[in-house]
């Protein structure tokens, strides 16, 4: 099992995830919040549905997560002028500070993961992981179209 790809991918994910959760908990962020902050840092003003899709978070979890983040003044919501049922989520100034901290933590996680690799190996690892990721995305997309 240890030499099998699925096991190694899972083990790498767990290590990276654990590092990020430990570090972000030091700045009082709850699990799930760093992902949302990172997402909005790159694309502010998304709808809750768009954030959930990009972060892999279901609708009910996203609703409660955003409510907590709004109470913590990390995000704010605005109505869509063209569609009153739709809302957009924005980082507050405080949320942007936290998002920048999360970006630094994620950068450190990446550096840790690649610390024993040469620059050439790092580029090759990213290239190969992108291929694996794209393959899974294609398969998942095909399966969802069949439903």
pLDDT tens per residue, range 26-45:
999 999 999 999 999 999 99
CB 76 within 8 A of CB 90: yes
Q: Sorting pLDDT into bands at 50, 70 and 90, what band is 143?
A: confident
Q: What is the mean pLDDT of residues 129-134?
A: 96
pLDDT at 141 over 90: no
Q: What is the pTM of this model?
A: 0.86
Q: Give the start-end residues of each E strand in the chain.
A: 75-79, 87-91
Q: Which fold has domain 18-116?
A: Arc Repressor Mutant, subunit A (1.10.10)
From CA 138, how far away is CA 135, in angstroms rounded? 5
Q: What is the mean pLDDT of residues 10-14?
A: 96
Torsions phi, psi of 146, nearest 5?
-75, -20
Percent of the chain with pLDDT over 70: 100
Residue spans per domain, the chain? 18-116, 118-147
pLDDT tens per residue, range 79-130:
877 777 789 999 999 999 999 999 999 999 999 999 999 999 999 999 999 9
From CA 47, how far away is CA 49, in angstroms rounded? 5
* CA-wise closest residue to 46 among 1, 94, 86: 86
The pLDDT score that the predictor gives to residue 106 is 97
pLDDT tens per residue, range 48-81:
999 999 998 999 999 999 999 999 999 999 987 7
């Amino acid at each position: 099992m240890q030499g099998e790809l699925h096991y190694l991918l899972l083990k790498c994910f767990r290590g990276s995830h654990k590092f990020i959760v430990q570090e972000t908990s030091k700045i009082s962020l709850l699990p799930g919040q760093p992902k949302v902050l990172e997402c909005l840092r790159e694309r502010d003003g998304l709808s809750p549905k768009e954030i959930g899709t990009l972060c892999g978070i279901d609708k009910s979890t996203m609703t409660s997560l955003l409510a907590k983040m709004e109470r913590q003044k990390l995000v704010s919501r605005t109505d869509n002028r063209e569609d009153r049922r739709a809302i957009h989520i924005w980082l507050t100034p405080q949320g942007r500070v936290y998002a920048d901290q999360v970006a630094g933590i994620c950068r450190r996680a990446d550096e840790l993961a690649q610390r024993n690799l040469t620059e050439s190996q790092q580029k090759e690892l990213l290239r190969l992981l992108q291929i694996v990721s794209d393959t899974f995305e294609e398969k998942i997309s095909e399966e969802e179209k069949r439903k």
